[in-house]
Amino acid sequence: MKETPPTKTDWQALYQAAIAFKEIEAWTWMYDSDVFGVQDPVTGEIGYCCVMGALGEVFALAVYLGTEGLESYLRVASGPPSSPFEALETALLQRCLVASFANREELSKEDRQVIKRLGLKFRGRNEWPLFRSYRPAYHPWYLTADEARFLTLALQQAREVCLRFEEDPALFDPPNGDLWFVRVPEETEEGLSWRDAWLKPAPLAEKELPTVPIDELRLARLRKAAQLMQAAWEMDVFLSPTPVQDKRGERPYYPYVLMSVDHASGFIFGTDLVSPETYLAELPERFLALAERLNMLPAEIWVQKEEALELLEPITSRLGIELYLVDWLESLENARSAMWEFLGRGW
């Protein structure tokens, strides 16, 4: 999908807002746990903002988009991950916009070209504005025009809110319940005006599972031809740590890995890479293709994701396979670790 890049005017406004925000050095009195919201006047979505830099390492404003973004922030803030795999998925499933202040060598050629075109000059460590968009299962990438517009507003409002917070550290203390301090825009004859509000996050949209057609004839042929093994297969789908770029200039994405492992022996029957846009819809088809290739069916399949359970159940029930939702897939996790070791990732 082609997305509109920011115009020169968009970039000018964004860099001006970033420079003004950096001047106040809000990280000297704020922590990344001091979260507040800024509502997008176009979409109505709330960006939940946190200031990073109190530890003197990364200096930035992160804007987590909507309730999905807020949930991704809360996962990061909840404490250290229980495994490297959880750390990877937590990092790759963030939904946010980030304005950071980096070193020159951290900028890409494209970043430096924008700065040159605007006639701006920066010098020194942690002085170069760097803007990135984070979307679940996609590589951090350059901003679209809409993202640049909203990040500009968020930086402008963040500057004002952070200065107020310095004077009043109780500014974000909610009056009751699950309320967040949010700056809300209102259209006036003079343009946008902003007011304070206490708002609950919007309900998190439920993930709609794709409808997978059932080919009864195909299932009947498979059940008749395949050997039924007295074995349990462990199946899971998880993000690959290596991005894929289908076309030059397009945003890279992290494919999902569909893995099937024999529970008793740990033997890996197959791995498939599937797009983050279609991995759920492809799960039943990939299982059927694997069973047809091996010409065998397991007596049981174990999964640890409810989505996998719901998508596979219409097929496994027709094939006479017992399907179980479990807390832990030991053989699959061992195979996953071995695969990353083989790839040199040191998991």
pLDDT band at 297 (very low <50, low <70, confident <90, very high): very high
Task: Tell me the per-residue pLDDT of 53-107, one tens digit each, with 9 for 90 and over.
Answer: 999 999 999 999 999 999 999 998 988 877 778 888 889 999 999 999 999 999 9
Lowest mean pLDDT segment, chosen from 21-25, 27-31, 196-200, 243-247: 243-247
One domain, residues 193 and 225: no
One domain, residues 153 and 282: no
Is residue 242 situated within a structural domain? yes
Say how many CA atoms lie within 13 Å of 119 toward its Cβ.
3
One domain, residues 169 and 28: yes
One domain, residues 15 and 162: yes
pLDDT band at 343 (very low <50, low <70, confident <90, very high): low
**Helix and strand totals (H; E) in the chain:** 9, 12
pLDDT above 70 (res 346): no
Of 172, 199, 226, which residue is a domain's last? Answer: 199
One domain, residues 238 and 175: no
One domain, residues 191 and 221: no
Look over the chain and give the mean of its residue pLDDT values, rounded to a whole number: 93
Q: What angle (nearest 5°) sits at the alpha carbon of residue 116, between those of residues 114 and 117?
A: 65
Residue 242 sits in a domain whose CATH number is 3.30.420.10
pLDDT above 80 (res 1): no
Task: Tell me the per-residue pLDDT of 143-190, one tens digit each, with 9 for 90 and over.
Answer: 999 999 999 999 999 999 999 999 999 999 999 888 999 999 999 888
Is residue 101 situated within a structural domain? yes
Task: Tell me the per-residue pLDDT of 34-47, one tens digit each, with 9 for 90 and over.
Answer: 999 999 999 999 99
Is residue 204 situated within a structural domain? no
Distances (CA, A) of 268 to 261, 332, 341: 4, 8, 15
Q: Which residues contact 284 (CB under 8 A, 6 or more apart)?
A: 212, 311, 312, 314, 315
- The parent domain of residue 25 ranges over 8-199
One domain, residues 181 and 242: no
Phi, psi of 133 (to 5 degrees): -105, 130
Rounded CA gap, 199 and 174, in Å? Answer: 9
One domain, residues 178 and 60: yes
One domain, residues 155 and 28: yes
One domain, residues 177 and 279: no
Write out the two tokens for 304.
């640890």
One domain, residues 225 and 153: no
One domain, residues 170 and 247: no
Number of domains in the chain: 2
